[in-house]
Amino acid sequence: MPTALITGATAGLGAAFARRLAADAFSLVLVARDESRLARFADQLKLRYGVGVEVLPADLATEDGLAAVEARLGDGVDLLVNNAGFGHPGRFPEVPMADEVRMLKLHCEAVLRLTLAALPSMRRRGRGAIVNVASVAAFFPRGTYSASKAWVVNFSESANADLGNPRIRIMALCPGFVRTEFHQRAAMDTSGIPGFLWLKADDVVRAAMRDLALGKSVSVPDPRYKAIVAVGRYVPRGVQAMVSARIGR
């Protein structure tokens, strides 16, 4: 039975990945900060899908949390989903420096280190996959969040190309606005976001797994967002920034 490790696993896209992979008969390793919530979710998955579920409480913005998950990945997994992340309610440079550094540690350092920790066992077996959750925001200028997600996209594409092994895939997943706890946790006002731009987490995961099977290094779920990214390539960066600021992160 294959094993998948998912960070940020108790809500939103992380929980949707857990449900999908459990339905596909993966054993799961769930990583998040809230131990009691992890345990409750693990019990639900075991009961519904009959798969093995291991919980690993860890804060990936800390050295101890990162080290614990690196150690678990050293034992080997078939699929790693780097999903943990958060957003800031304020604009740069209003956000405190400590919060900015925490975001970069979680979005960039954790993705780098966990990817590197997962790869040795995958290379020994000659197979495996890593999904690094980025965002459509990666293609548009919008503060540290967009910048960190742009790094995730570039890193994933570069790492996938450097591996040169079609049986080991690294893919950046770039969804748009998804109905999750993300914006609420960040205390963001989403009233200005048009209703047609919202996606369902389960639909995003379904598209991600399809694109991963197809060997894509970047997945932009949903035709609406594919069109937005395509058009954005021809719009001046200053105009992108203005529109992005008006609609939201």
Residues 130 and 79 sit within 8 Å (Cβ to Cβ): yes
CA 136 – CA 175 distance, rounded (Å):
6
Q: Residues with catalytic annotation?
A: 145
Does the pLDDT value for residue 200 go beyond 90?
Answer: yes
What percent of the chain is predicted at pLDDT more than 70? 88
- What would the two tokens of residue 51 be? 């798969």
| DSSP secondary structure of 19-38 | HHHHHTT-EEEEEES-HHHH
Summarize pLDDT for 40-86 with one digit per residue, the tens.
999 999 999 999 999 999 999 999 999 999 999 999 999 999 999 99
Q: Which residue ranges form the domains of the chain, and what is each CATH number?
A: 3-247 (3.40.50.720)
CA 51 – CA 205 distance, rounded (Å):
19
Does the pLDDT value for residue 249 go beyond 80?
Answer: no
> Structure pTM?
0.90
- Pairing assessment for the beta strands 79-82 and 128-133 based on DSSP bridges: parallel
Binning pLDDT at 50, 70 and 90, where does residue 91 land? confident
Does the pLDDT value for residue 109 go beyond 70?
Answer: yes
Residues 80 and 67 sit within 8 Å (Cβ to Cβ): no
* Residue 70 falls in which region: left (phi positive, over 0), alpha (psi -120 to 50) or beta: alpha
